[in-house]
Amino acid sequence: MADLLVAGALIVDGTGAPGRAGSVVVSGDRIDAVLEPDAPEPAVARRIDGRGLVLTPGFVDAHSHADATPFVEPAMDSMLRQGVTTLVVGNCGTSAFPPSDLDEVAALAGAREDDLGEPWRTFDGYLERVQACEPALNVAALVGHGSLRLAALEDQRRAPRPDEAAAMSALLEDALEQGAVGLSTGLIYAPGIHASTDEIAELAGAMARRGGVYASHVRGEGRTVFDAVSECIEIGRRAGVPSHVSHLKVEGPSMWGRVEELLELLDHTRATGADVTADQYPYTAWETTLAAALPPWITAEELPALRTDPAARGRLLIEIERGGPSAEGVGPTLGWDRVVIGSHVPAPDLTGRTIADLAEERGARAAETVVELLLADPNTGMVGHGMHEDDVRVIVARADVLVGTDGVAIGPDGPLGAFAVHPRYYGTFPRVLGRYVREEQVLSLEDAVRKMTSLPARRFGLAGRGTIEPGAFADLVLFDPLRVADRATYERPHAFARGIDVVVVNGRVAWDGSTGERAGRALRRG
């Protein structure tokens, strides 16, 4: 007797092929058979009626920061209930291995380093700890360049010495050998902002021997985005590895309307032999730490020292107002009225206020307000309304751009319950299906599913996932194509998507209107 039958659905198998009516039989953690509509049904332990619904492979979140979520919220509700079955974590240069920056990794999940338990010594140790938590979703992990740099150089703002570069490479090679899916960088954040192209290309070369992809939050997404994306591609070329641009966008009013040029850059480099891909979250605002507004020579943790150094504080305020390489100036690029305060532990009521509004209320300069917020909470978050919907739509329409949340898996009652401010945590994948496929018809259902499933699975080496076919892992999503939609907004971010009826992870029903079994796994490349 098989374990599960999803009967009579429209099967969109993840390959891009036209949807077809049929049923899927699951035995254990694998798809046992895909049946034609008139085939007799086998005996099964559980039958789910899929009539009028679409059955697809489970969605693969190509860009997640949920490295620590299994330790504090293993149910992973916001991701599970939008159809995600696999997360790719360790993005933007920060990862759980090496354990050199666990305070930041924990903070992204609304937790403290102590909540993660005794630090693991190896990449394999991290995966084993994730597995022990019995997470609801599968977790695959990149290794962050920033975390490697902190392990080898601590917080030195210089090029690594040969022995330090060798130490970084050895850590990366060990992780790749143990199943890491690649290397990530965050080049607008410390310490990645201090790294040269040469440093990163040399390090990424370890993947030419072991396998993996180079994924980058590039050095700029506004005025310098073309040079920044070109650097990402060049690093991949020099290292002999695939490159991947994280959360592709053009940011700031002066850049709006130029997204076609950016896509032409990707197409041109592919035509000349570059192996480059990208992902996107389908929203017009980004979210990151307010510390990204600081110039490279100082971190949020170093701000208290400026209380006794008026000259340095004056220089800091000028550089924040002028803008620089960190997030390309944030306020000067967008306008401080488009920069919104995110999570701020000392005063949660500030969440949702703009920097401009708060500065006016306090009778202070915008830069002074930024500094005071960071002095009170170095992990203060911000949301920047920096993209234009027309540009977002153009990227969504690309069948070759993967989908990622750039978020964490949370729940309304979890550690980030009072602070989550971006709707992408809950609505990314249903937003593509509901708004851009059904309502605006900017791409077909089959293309949308492919860029959510088989493309990211193949890009990150997740063997046996991302398609519906006999022998594949039984990660499945059953949804109503007429109802599926995102409901989360910036004002009301904790709102689960609608229309996602059933989610199956490794053959177990994880969501069917109520929480089911937690059957996620720590995944290794290949």
Select from 50, 45, 14 the least CA-distant residue to 32.
Answer: 45
Dist CA 48 CA 7 (whole Å) = 6
pLDDT along the chain (526 residues), means of 10: 97 98 98 97 97 98 98 97 98 98 92 93 98 98 98 94 98 98 96 97 95 96 94 98 98 95 97 97 95 91 93 93 68 89 90 94 96 95 95 97 97 84 96 98 98 98 98 98 97 96 98 95 96
Reduced to 3 states (helix: H, G, I; strand: E, B; else coil), residue 346 is coil
Q: What is the pLDDT of residue 325?
A: 59
3-state secondary structure of 358: helix
> What is the reported pTM?
0.96
- C-alpha 77 chain-centroid distance: 16
Interaxial angle between packed helices 389-396 and 259-271, expressed in degrees from 0 to 180 and rounded to the nearest 10: 30
Q: Residue 383, Cβ neighbours under 10 Å: how many? A: 21
Residue 241's pLDDT is: 98
Distance of alpha carbon 526 from alpha carbon 250, whole angstroms: 33
Instruction: Show the CA angle centred on residue 134, arms to residues 133 and 135, nearest 5°.
Output: 95
Separation between Cα atoms, residue 74 and residue 66, nearest integer Å: 10
DSSP 28-53: TTEEEEEE-TTSPPPPEEEEEE-TT-
* Residue 13 · residue 477 · CB < 8 Å: no
118 CB contacts (<8 Å, ≥6 apart)? none
Q: Are the C-beta atoms of 333 and 339 separated by less than 8 Å?
A: no
477 strand-pairing partners: 56, 503
User: What's the Cα-to-Cα distance from 213 to each of 140, 198, 261, 309, rounded to whole Å?
Assistant: 13, 17, 24, 44
What is d(CA 302, CA 155) in angstroms, rounded to the nearest whole number? Answer: 12
> 352: burial class by Cβ within 10 Å (0-12, 13-18, 19+)?
middle
Q: Is the peptide bond before 415 cis (omega within 30 degrees of 0)?
A: no
d(CA 517, CA 317): 51
Q: Which residues contact residue 95 at a Cβ distance below 8 angstroms, ignoring those fewer than 6 apart? A: 67, 89, 105, 141, 142, 143, 144, 147, 184
Domain boundary assignment for the chain? 67-80+92-285+386-429, 288-384
DSSP letter string over 271-311? HTT--EEEEE-SSS-EEEEGGGGS-TT--GGGGGGGGG-HH
Q: Which CATH architecture has domain 67-80+92-285+386-429?
A: Alpha-Beta Barrel (3.20)
The dihedrals phi and psi of 129, each to the nearest 5 degrees, come to -70, -40
What's the CA gap between 295 and 324, in Å, rounded? 6
Residue 285 CB contacts under 8 Å (≥ 6 apart), including other chains: 340, 383, 384, 385, 386, 387, 422, 490
Q: Which residue has the tokens 């641009």?
A: 245
Query: Helices 162-177 and 145-153 meet at what angle, rounded to 10?
Result: 130
**Residues 92, 487: contact at Cβ < 8 Å?**
no
* Contact partners, residue 489, CB within 8 Å, separation at least 6: 423, 495
Q: 415, 307 in Cβ contact below 8 A? A: no
User: So what's the pLDDT on residue 322?
Assistant: 84
